[in-house]
Amino acid sequence: MSVEILNVSKSFGDTHAVQDVSLTIEQGEIFALLGGSGCGKTTLLRMLAGFESPDSGDVRINGESILALPPFHRHVNMMFQSYALFPHMTVEKNIAFGPAQDGLSKQEIAERVDEVLELVQMERYRKRKPAQLSGGQQQRIALARSLAKKPSLLLLDEPMAALDKKLRMRMQLELVSIVEQVGVTCIIVTHDQEEAMTMSNRIAIMDAGRIRQVGTPQEIYEYPNSRMTAEFVGSINLLPATVTACAESTTLQLKDAASTVVCRDTRAREGEAYLVAIRPEKVALSTEDEAAGPNCLRGVIDDIAYLGSHSVVHVRLENGKIMQAHMSNVSRDARTQIDFEQPVTLSWEPESVLLISEDD
Amino acid sequence: MKLTKIMLGFGFAFLYFPLVILVIYSFNESRLVTVWSEFSVKWYFELFKDEQLINGFLLSLRIASLTACASVVFGTMASYILVKFGRFPGQTIFSGLTVAPLVMPDVITGLSLLLLFVGLNELIGWPSARGATTIWIAHVTFCIAFVTVVVSSRLREMDGSLEEAAMDLGAGPVKVFFYITLPIIMPAIMSGWLLAFTLSLDDLVIASFVSGPGASTLPMVIYSSVRLGVSPKINALATIFVVCILISSTASWWLANRFSPASGGTGKTT
Amino acid sequence: MSFLRRRIWVILPPYLWLLIFFALPFAFILKISLAETAVAMPPYGDIWSWTSGKFEWLGSLDNFRFLLDDEIYVLSYLNSLKLAAISTLIALLIGYPMALAIARMPESIRSFMLLLVILPSWTSFLIRIYAWIGLLKNNGLINHLLMSIGVIDEPIVMLHTNFAIYVGIVYGYLPFMILPIYANLVKLDLRLIEAAQDLGARPARVFFSITLPLSLSGIFAGCFLVFIPSVGEFIIPDLLGGPDTLMIGKTLWQEFFTNRDWPVASAIAVVMLAILMVPIYIYRRIELKRLGIEG
């Protein structure tokens, strides 16, 4: 049951909420739409659910367009950000609401209710009203309710937004295991990159109504295709540079610095300008004054943020720019081995370097 | 802060003092409302012997309950239109029509409706006689506005995703309204009903204009009696009013407080 | 779209009802105000005739001219506006602190306090105004009390004066002042006040630069809710006012019921509407904004 989104656009007045978006989501896949607020991800989700209709383009499930169907006739169910549990109905009634609309018999409805309640392990709470449940419990009921109709596509709108941070981590894993158990195709909308990476098989990054990159969490993180995605997911060092030589590896001359960078990216042509992108955890920090060479920069420590498992070290380069490096706190006194204004050398492997086009 | 509390006390004294005096003097033996002679309940017996008052009360009760029912239906529809439908042709006029009756002086509403009824009678032969029906129409007209205020504010507070969720689960617009929206705004509709009921029961001016011979509502009977001077019978009537309202409002307040967490939540509680 | 076509069936019933029974009557009132008084039932003449294919206009502005000629009408209008405005101001001065006090109370008591505010208005308006007759009379309770404790020797004349009207209007309409202001104040984010205090503002300063400006829409709603209906008030001037207390609602009533002059009564109503048009229009905007509906 694949979901195809074909060249979908939608404007509200002058704002182009969604612009020419095309995506294919495979059967059983958990797919995340990741982006900041106002990037159009929620509008896209609401178009799948049927609460908005696109200005142009098509949405197909198993090859059939669903655009002509009103929300109540689509085999698509959504778990709302606020959960939208009906406050005047018990847990049981909430879950039975969907199957009842399909005209199932009382017995069938009861079986469905039992089935999904067992799935989310909430059998004991079936007679409660939503207001009598905790946030995590409400979320499970909301999930159960949206699964009770056995939809071909499940939509999760900011599923963790209403939970506190500790509960979030647990529920992310639990939700994924339930969704995988059911095997339903699932689209998650979120602004939280960690959530998207933990929960989904593939991620689409959205910005200003457009899809910027689609890929597995690893692809998105290790091979961002643009400055926007590189900066949106995790933190990254970006150094402007110009290609000076291309052979088996590419050599670049850094702007405002004497050092050169060598990388394995062979798309580049001589004379082109790029941003050299290196994730901070791939930068090695050394207090010894190592010999200068390619992939090596000198500087002094500007700031240290101690985060327990590792420290984020800000190094002021000779040209005044700041570069980040992660230092793993392998020993307890790791933090005390470095200090502000201490001269350090930063270095990295050619494999860790990614080239990103300047203009985008 | 202290000053406001003192004002609150003073304000409540101002609001309740006349009513308390009214109640006390209903048990006064003397006809003079200001001089206490001795305790008596004779004015209550007098009250129940007054056929005009009783008839007026029954008529008012009938009109008030029918008014409340009709204005709740129209008022809920109007609220739904105003809150959910967005723009439609004639929306500005419509929103004006639902708000203006809140402040329109009764004499204008009353006179204009009377002239409408008289004019319509000449044009199409309806309403040939004025009485309970014309009063009912007039009351529904101005009560719609009050119901709309109460219901639309509740409707606006309601989490819109509840309706979307129901639709998402396969319920069509009509079903969504009756299974989800209506139960959730029911407390507001009930208070709208009560409000319309009391407004209708209370109206003297509009009813006086649009009523015909033989149809005297309770306020009309009270008014003609009050015009003749102060009468302890009216005190007795007022006391009965006060007691009924005390009982019913305490009951409804208690009910509302008991059930509000389950019926008023938006599902966002964590 | 069939969706829109179905919406028509929701829109039409209340819309038609209000058009026919609230808007249309104003056309009739306007028509009759142009007609001549007649000894007939109904007691007014036609404003046009259509005999043997010839149209003849019979209406005139005589009734309006008449309103200008006799100063009693002009005085009624002016006096109504004055009494209503002063009463509204008094109601605001009493109602605002009350609303503020309730809004600052713990949530559990608030609804009970509100109930106390609304409760009196559920008993008959007529009876509540009537209650003041017994209190304000020359041999009424207040004079009795004052005389028995020796503050005064002679009863103060209170009933049938403007004072009685003020008391009546403030008493009758106070809840309508308190409720919108309360609704506004209770939504006011207390953190704003804490922030102002934190930044060094004294209580008076906090009130005038934070609380008051943020509750203006409630104040306006409350004032219009009291002012507009009390301009046309009938019961209060009739029961508490004297024979020479001129208020336009009472004048209209007498014109209609005592003099049976429907055209002049209609003309009075038309002028009153014209005067109230602006406040009603402003009120409508405030109210719709408060309800979160754009209009």
> Is B240 in CB contact (< 8 Å) with chain C?
no
What are the backbone angles phi and psi of residue B203, rounded to the nearest 5°? -75, 125
CA-to-CA distance for B76 and B149, rounded, in angstroms? 10
| Chain C contact for B254 (CB, 8 A cutoff) | no
Contact assessment for residue A73 and residue A64, using Cβ atoms and an 8 Å cutoff: no
Return the residue in A72, A139, A164 with the most chain B beta carbons within 10 A, the one to mutate for interface testing.
A72
B218 touches chain A (CB under 8 A): no
pLDDT of residue C295: 40
Which chains contact B through at least 3 pairs of Cβ atoms less than 8 Å apart?
A: A, C
Cβ contact, residue pair C101, B7, below 8 Å: yes
Which residue from B70, B112, B101, B65 is spatially nearest to B210, judged by alpha carbons? B112
pTM summary value: 0.87
Q: Do C225 and B102 touch (CB under 8 A)?
A: yes
Bridging pattern class, strands A56-61 and A64-65: antiparallel
Bond prior to B127 in cis (omega within 30° of 0): yes
Residue with tokens 């208020």: C247
Task: Give chain C's mean pLDDT.
Answer: 89
Burial pattern B173-209, b for ≥16 Cβ within 10 A else e, equals bebbbebbbeebbebbbebbbbbbbbbbbbbbbbbbb
Cβ-defined contact of A130 to B162 (cutoff 8 Å): no
Q: Residue C103's closest chain B neighbor by CA? A: B4
Beta bridge partners of B87: none
- Residues 71-110, chain B: which have Cβ within 8 Å of C? 74-75, 77-78, 80-83, 85, 88, 90-109
| DSSP code string of B42-91 | HHHHHHHH-HHHHHHHHHHHHHHHHHHHHHHHHHHHHHHHHHHS---TTH
Nearest by CB to residue A130, choosing from B161, B175, B265, is B265
Please say if the pLDDT value at position C50 is more than 80: no
Please name the chains neighbouring A, where neighbouring means 3+ C-beta pairs under 8 angstroms: B
Residues of C in contact with B74 (CB under 8 A): 13-14, 17
In the stretch 21-80 of chain C, residues with CB closer than 8 A to chain B read 21-26, 28-29, 31-32, 42
Altogether, the residues listed in chain B come to a count of: 270
Pair of tokens at residue C7: 């919406």
- Asked whether the beta carbons of B235 and B250 are under 8 A apart, the reply is no
CA atoms within 13 A on the CB side of A229: 25
pLDDT at res. B266: 36
Q: Do C14 and B74 touch (CB under 8 A)?
A: yes
Contact assignment for B168 to A129 by CB distance below 8 Å:
no
Output helix, strand, coil percentages for chain A, rounded to the nearest 5: 30, 35, 35
Give the separation between CA C36 and CA C263, rounded to whole angstroms: 6
Given a contact cutoff of 8 angstroms between Cβ atoms, the answer to whether C101 and B7 are in contact is yes
Residues 35-64 of B with CB under 8 A from C: none
Q: How many CB atoms lie within 10 A of CB B147?
A: 30
Higher pLDDT: C25 or C284? It is: C25
Domains of chain C and CATH, by start: 62-290 (1.10.3720.10)
Torsion angle, alpha carbons of B205, B207, B209, B210, to 10: 160
The minimum CA-CA distance between C69 and chain B, rounded to whole Å, is 22
Give every residue of chain B whose pLDDT is below 70, as ranges.
1, 33-34, 256-270
Q: Which of A71, A84, A97 sits opposite B159 (nearest CB)?
A: A84
pLDDT along chain A (360 residues), means of 10: 91 92 95 93 94 94 93 94 94 95 94 95 94 93 95 94 87 92 95 93 95 95 92 91 88 86 85 91 85 84 91 91 91 82 91 82
Chain A nearest CA to B169, separation (Å): 5
Q: Does B173 touch chain C (CB under 8 A)?
A: yes
Residue C2 — pLDDT band, cuts 50, 70, 90?
low
Top residue of A83, A145, A146, A154 to mutate, by most chain B CBs within 10 Å, is: A83
DSSP annotation string for A24-56:
EE-TT-EEEEE--TTSSHHHHHHHHHTSS--SE
CA angle B148, C183, C282 (to 5 degrees): 65
Give B-chain residues touching C144 at CB under 8 angstroms.
34
The Cβ of residue A36 has, within 10 Å, a number of other Cβ atoms equal to 12
What separation in angstroms does the CA of C149 have from each of B18, C142, C153? 20, 11, 10
From the list A70, A82, A98, the residue facing B268 with the nearest CB is A82
pLDDT tens per residue across span B243-263: 888 888 778 777 766 655 443
Beta strand spans in A95-236 (E): 153-157, 185-190, 202-207, 210-215
Closest by Cβ to A98, choosing from B159, B169, B268: B169
Percent residues over pLDDT 70 in chain C: 97
- Report chain A's C-alpha Rg in angstroms: 25
CA pair distance C95, C107, nearest whole angstrom: 19
| DSSP characters over A50-99 | TSS--SEEEEEETTEE-TTS-GGGSSEEEE-TT----TTS-HHHHHHHHH
Q: Which of B84, B158, B164, B168 to mutate to test the interface with A (most CBs of A within 10 A)?
A: B168
Using a CB-CB cut-off of 8 Å, the residues of chain B touching C130 are: 222, 226, 230, 234, 238
Tokens of C99: 């609303």
pLDDT for C83 beyond 90: yes
List strands edge to edge, sheet with A310-317.
Answer: A284-286, A343-347, A296-306, A310-317, A322-328
Asked if B87 is an interface residue toward chain A (Cβ–Cβ < 8 A), one would say no
The reply to whether residue B184 touches residue A88, judged by beta carbons under 8 angstroms, is yes
Q: What SS3 class is residue A260?
A: strand
Residue B131: name the closest of B220, B257, B49, B225 by CA: B220
Q: What does the alpha-carbon distance between residue A14 and residue A116 come to, in Å, rounded to a whole number?
A: 43
Report phi then psi at A259, rounded to 5. Answer: -75, 160
Digit-coded pLDDT (tens) for A90-141? 999 999 999 999 999 999 999 999 999 999 999 999 999 999 999 999 999 9
* From B7, B81, B205, residue closest to C98, measured CB to CB: B7
Contact B167 A71 (CB under 8 A): yes
- Contact indicator for B197, B67 with CB cutoff of 8 Å: yes
Please tell me the predicted confidence (pLDDT) of residue B92.
87
Chain B CB contacts of A131 under 8 Å are 261-262, 265, 267, 269
pLDDT digits (tens, 9 = 90+) for C262-295: 999 999 999 999 999 899 888 888 887 776 654 4
Q: Which of A12, A76, A82, A141 to substitute to test the interface with B, most B CBs within 10 Å?
A: A82
B124, two tokens: 């199409």
Token pair, residue A33, equals: 């739409």
Question: Closest Cα partner for B98 from B63, B136, B68, B142?
Answer: B142
**B1 touching C, CB under 8 A?**
yes
pLDDT at site C44: 85
What whole-number distance in Å separates Cα of residue B248 and Cα of residue C213?
37
With an 8 Å Cβ cutoff, are A72 and B168 in contact? yes
Mean pLDDT in residue range C243-272 = 92
Q: Which C positions 245-274 lie with beta carbon below 8 A of chain B? A: 249, 252-253, 256-257, 262, 265-266, 269, 272-273
CB contact under 8 A, A84 and B269: no
- Chain A hits for B270, CB-CB cut-off 8 Å, are 134-135, 138, 162-164
A85 CB neighbours in chain B (<8 A) are: 165, 267
For domain B54-232, give the CATH superfamily: MetI-like (1.10.3720.10)
Q: Which of A90, A99, A168, A170 is nearest to A127 (CA)?
A: A90
CB A340 within 8 A of CB A311: no
B99: closest chain C residue by CA? C284
A-to-B residue pairs, Cβ atoms closer than 8 angstroms: 97
Domain with CATH 1.10.3720.10 in chain B: 54-232
Give the largest Cα separation in chain A, rounded. 79
pLDDT at C193: 86
